[in-house]
A and B are shown apart, each in its own frame.
Chain A
Amino acid sequence: MAYSEKLLDHFKNPKNVGTLDKSKKSVGTGLVGAPECGDVMRLQIKVSEEGVIEDAKFKTFGCGSAIASSSLATEWLKGKNLDEASTIDNMDIVEELALPPVKIHCSVLAEDAIKMAIKDYREKNGQ
């Protein structure tokens, strides 16, 4: 299977790999997938007092497409407010990385991780 240049670049030089302190109120964490399914994605956002995502980090256990999808997602999240971030659609990721049909679930996982991180942040902050 030949992957796109963009996908390979995100895989080889993943952006924003790391861990944010999930106990902090300003941090929202989304953990989706399962080891038995072959992919686990953890995506975290750090939100400023103004409600803007100032940092995003990820760690992913999975195939190249899952890693590239989460790397891209963190790039897109930074600088967005929560409402804007909620509109990121998995098909945008599919298009940007030219994911083959069998890898579309990787983009769905990334969208789910984004939504779960936002939800976690909002719940923590009583929103």
Chain B
Amino acid sequence: MENNLIYFDNNSTTPCDPRVVDTMLPWFYQNPGNAASRSHAFGWKAEEAVDYARGQVADLISVESKEIIFTSGATEANNLAIKGVFEMYARKGNHIITLTTEHKAVLDACDKVEKLGGDVTYLSVDREGLVDLKALEDAITDKTVLVSIMWANNETGVIQPMKEIGEICARKGVLFFSDATQAVGKIPVDPKATGVHLMAFTAHKMYGPKGVGALFVNRKKPRVKVVAQMDGGGHERGMRSGTLNVTGIVGFGKAAEIAKEEMEADAKRLVVLRDKLERAFEERLEEVYVNGSRTSRMPHVTNISFKHVEGEGLMMTFNENIAVSSGSACTSSSLEPSYVLIALGLGDDLAHSSIRFSLGRFTKEEEIDRAIDLVANGVTHMRDLSPIWEMYKEGVDLDSVQWQEH
């Protein structure tokens, strides 16, 4: 990437792999066809390219080509799955179960379902960020049509016990949908072997382009259907109308092919770098907390709270050199600290102090070493400025202080 800026925000989006860009280029100008044009060679060629890419994407997650519905991204795929199942299975029931730590695309789609007369149960997670399987099983009723649980969390990288959830859903006869945006292309994801019937994911989290994603919809045993949420020309087997983003889909396919080849090696390398980063902070600084499970976790992510330092302020000490994100309220449009971290049982103060480091395929060890120094110095600087750090050091019980909340 250009300049010296270290990019540790790969959970927000990944850079498009140059090999993906090269594959996409001919599909802007040389091959301009609409994949739905049946009457000329431009259209046939585009359709062929889409079919090939569909195969590459399907192959990455070990499903059939016909089970891939291309969308504009994971947000649309999440919406299509949740609202589409709710509408399709209205005669069976109106109940959906999900987690409080899901992505907003899932939570807001569930919110819409509630407005349309549905019932949604939001299960809490434990300190590690993991679902309580017993609570899930108990929450399923004869009205439940869908369980929606993300594969890996975007903020913490925590991976849910997918196989166990799949078994519960199979036993109870309910559909299992997963937002696997953060997992696909980075760890092995096999929905069929896991009992997942629908799954959303996107290209731009796996070194592909922005603006293209997919919904996997299981075709056999059980045959799953969703009601289209976008009406039009009946593309994508009637489930998602709209001219296919041929260029993007070609890139998505290439990204999937590369991921299949390289994700194991990437993960092996990144887990070492991530652990090095984490360990360095724990050794050099006091009051450092890693948020969420450290065992059931994505290899490239760590979410750390540096206590008594506010996240946005801390980021400002190094954001000319490192790009990360924070669960601090100051970085969110809602002015509330991260609801995901709060759901893990962190106090608001620790949520305000959190920084997410998400590494990627292009992260170099030398960047980790530089980041360790820059961040550790930033934390020390901010603690020197922090009255609550001073009070903590003096042994003041911060819980007993009468704060002037505003």
Contact = CB atoms under 8 A, between A and B. Distances in A.
Contacts of A102: 335
Contacts of B328: 38, 63
A66 B328 CA distance: 14
A36 B349 contact: yes
B406 A108 contact: yes
B387 interface: yes
Given A60-B387, A61-B387, A64-B312, A38 B406 contact: no
Interface string A1-43: 0000000000100100101000000000001111111111110
Contacts of B329: 37-38
B29 interface: no
A99 to B, nearest CB: 12
Interface string B345-371: 001110010000000000000000000
Contacts of A36: 347-349, 352, 403, 405
Contact of A33 (B316, B337, B406): B406
B405 A63 contact: no
Contact of B384 (A17, A33, A38): A17
Contact of A34 (B312, B384, B390, B405): B405
Interface residues of B, number: 27
Contacts of A105: 406
A120 interface: no
A34 B404 contact: yes
A61 B406 contact: no
Contacts of A112: 404, 406
Contacts of A14: 385
Given A11-B316, A63-B313, A33 B403 contact: yes
Interface in B371-388: 384-388
B310 A19 contact: no
Contacts of B386: 40, 59-61
Contacts of A11: 313, 316
Specify the main secondary structure of chain B where it touches its partner.
helix
Residue in B388, B390, B404 whose Cβ sees the most chain A Cβ within 10 Å: B404
Interface string A51-62: 000000001111
A67 interface: yes
B330 A41 contact: no
A11 B347 CA distance: 26
B313 A35 contact: no
Interface string B316-333: 100000000000111000
B385 A19 contact: no
A59 B385 contact: yes
Nearest to A113: B404
A68 to B, nearest CB: 10
A61 B404 contact: no
A82 interface: no
Residue in A39, A40, A66 whose Cβ sees the most chain B Cβ within 10 Å: A40
Residue in B309, B316, B384 whose Cβ sees the most chain A Cβ within 10 Å: B316
B387 A67 contact: no
A61 B310 contact: yes
B339 interface: no
Residue in B313, B349, B398, B405 whose Cβ sees the most chain A Cβ within 10 Å: B313
B389 interface: yes
Contact of A62 (B313, B347, B348, B404): B313
B352 A38 contact: yes
Contacts of A31: 387, 404
A39 B261 CA distance: 47
Interface in A105-119: 105, 108-109, 112, 116
A37 B385 contact: no
Contact of B398 (A35, A39, A59): A35
A14 B382 CA distance: 11
Contacts of B309: 61
Nearest to A105: B406
B204 interface: no
A57 B356 CA distance: 32
Contact of B387 (A37, A59, A109): A59
B384 A35 contact: no
Interface string B177-219: 0000000000000000000000000000000000000000000
Contacts of A32: 404, 406
Q: Across chains A and B, which 4 residue pairs bring their CB atoms closest together, nearest first?
A: A34-B403, A35-B349, A36-B348, A59-B387
6 contacts: A36-B405, A40-B387, A40-B388, A62-B310, A67-B385, A112-B406
Interface of A: 11, 14, 17, 19, 31-42, 59-64, 66-67, 102, 105, 108-109, 112, 116
Interface of B: 308-310, 312-313, 316, 328-330, 335, 337, 347-349, 352, 384-390, 398, 403-406
